[in-house]
């Protein structure tokens, strides 16, 4: 059974660095072909892809945020991480991590419950 769960600070101030953790089970990020992505959703708005990390440590970032994002993983503890530097109120959102499924097609097949992050002074 695949599960993912996000954790984060809840609230932080503008200009701080947001650190998010995705703890998962039911698969391994050291297995060939596996990947995890981060997606966010401001309240009442749509979904925005942020970053992906793959089993071979290949990383991809949203170009509009690239300079502020860092994705990483700890395969021994089944965790993936996302850092966003210099946050502002526009980064207030629910942040999701999701497993990347691949059966000839790529898709986010399993999602965490999301963690709400508020940026406020």
Q: Which residues bind other proteins (CB under 8 A)?
A: 37, 39, 46-49, 52, 60-63, 96, 100-101, 103-114
Q: Which residues pair with 115 in a beta bridge?
A: 95
Which CB atom, from 10 or from 104, has the smaller least distance to other proteins? 104
Rg (CA), the chain: 14
Pairing of strands 93-102, 79-84: unpaired
Which CB atom, from 86 or from 113, has the smaller least distance to other proteins? 113
Q: How far is the CB of 75 from other proteins (least distance, A)?
A: 23
Which CB atom, from 39 or from 53, has the smaller least distance to other proteins? 39
Taking Cα atoms as reference points, which of 105, 119, 97, 121 lies closest to residue 38? 97
Q: How far is the CB of 8 from other proteins (least distance, A)?
A: 15
Q: How far apart are CA 63 and CA 92, in angstroms?
A: 19
Phi, psi of 42 (to 5 degrees): -60, 150
Which CB atom, from 29 or from 114, has the smaller least distance to other proteins? 114
Q: How far is the CB of 57 from other proteins (least distance, A)?
A: 17
């Amino acid at each position: 059974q695949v599960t993912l769960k996000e954790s984060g600070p809840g609230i932080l101030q503008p200009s701080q660095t947001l650190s998010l953790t995705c703890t998962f089970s039911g698969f391994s990020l050291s297995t060939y072909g596996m990947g995890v992505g981060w997606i966010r959703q401001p309240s009442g708005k749509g979904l925005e892809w942020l970053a992906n990390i793959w089993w071979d440590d290949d990383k991809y970032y949203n170009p509009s945020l690239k300079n502020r994002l860092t994705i990483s993983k700890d395969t021994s503890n089944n965790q993936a991480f996302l850092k966003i530097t210099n946050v502002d109120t526009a980064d207030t959102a629910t942040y999701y991590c999701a497993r990347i499924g691949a059966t000839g097609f790529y898709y986010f097949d399993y999602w965490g419950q999301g963690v709400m992050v508020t940026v406020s002074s």
